[in-house]
Structure 1
Amino acid sequence: MRSNLHRLAALLHLLSTAALWVAGVGLVAMTAATAWQVFGRYVLNSSPSWTEPVSLILMGWFIFLGAAAGVREDTHLGFDVLVTVVPAKVAVAMRFLSDLAVIVFGAGMAYFGALLAAGTWSATIPVLRLPGTVEYVSIVLGGVLIALFGLEKLVRRLAGMAPAHVPVDEARAEEAVWNS
């Protein structure tokens, strides 16, 4: 079972890396669109109308894909002070509950984002002439990835393995609790 989890972890690592690259490209593209808008407004005295909606759409993509990668890589902000001072078994239970909360949150994002995307299908973004759904697909994909990466962490914990990106000392302590 562990070899299957390691293969799955390698696949999810590629997915996380791809999400991070797309987020990075989106951030650069949004910065370029915003720079063009500023240049157009202050130098050409004619602001391009497409830059603001494009920037907002790109912002959604890099925020939600970056957040999903952050869940997998354990780079999100956290309040770990309490976890470090409680007994090891309580800390494991707290991390387990945290993983469950992340999964539920990601699934909720995906579900309600899908409802929002479906509800805006018939609307059109005027300047871009794209369906309104384009603005909300990033919420759905980000939610799916957050839930998937949270599920990976939970399954690894239940299998007695540390999450993919945890400091070595913390991983050994957690594995010792699961294996005791």
Structure 2
Amino acid sequence: MCSFITQIAYGIMMLITLGLTAGGLFSENWVQAPDGSSKGILCGANSFTTLSKNTADFCPGWWDNIKVFERVTVVCLFLAIIFQILGLVWNFITICACCCKKHIIHPLSAISLLNVIALAIAVIVYAINSNTAINDIVAALGTVGQGSMGSSFIMECVALGMAILCTIVASLAICFAEKCV
């Protein structure tokens, strides 16, 4: 019973982590300029151009125009989303497998740890290079003053904290499942 309750808590926490990760990745507020305007790391919806009636190109040249640290951040965040979905699916499978749960639940903590690693790399790489991103938006807009990190970056930091908690809860669920509690 305790492993079931712990897995329910894990599922709720992982859903929150997934929401924070996706929300931060797809929002346009990674860096804020002093005038209040902001910049995202993904291409915006206004970058959609139609080439002909049958084809469309979303954000032409976007990947080539972003810096390496932004590429690393985007790739790591997409990997984190994949690990989060995989963790939710595996958690659901092990909840449904009552009789053999103690034998198949073990990958849950490894998936959660991979999620933490992907999120940590994304947050650390972007934090180290945040001055470059802030200076780029201030220079592009020609504003005077200091820019700052936006709410999207903060969401990813909170997602990292939630991912760490998910890993701890997954380990507890494994301990409870092994003891058939």
TM bin (shorter chain): 0.3 to 0.5
Task: Name the structure where helix makes up a greater proportion of residues.
Answer: 1
Higher relative contact order (CA 8 A, sep 6+): 2
Compute the TM-score of the two structures, normalised by the length of structure 1. 0.43
Compute the TM-score of the two structures, normalised by the length of structure 2. 0.43
Task: Name the structure where strand makes up a greater proportion of residues.
Answer: 2
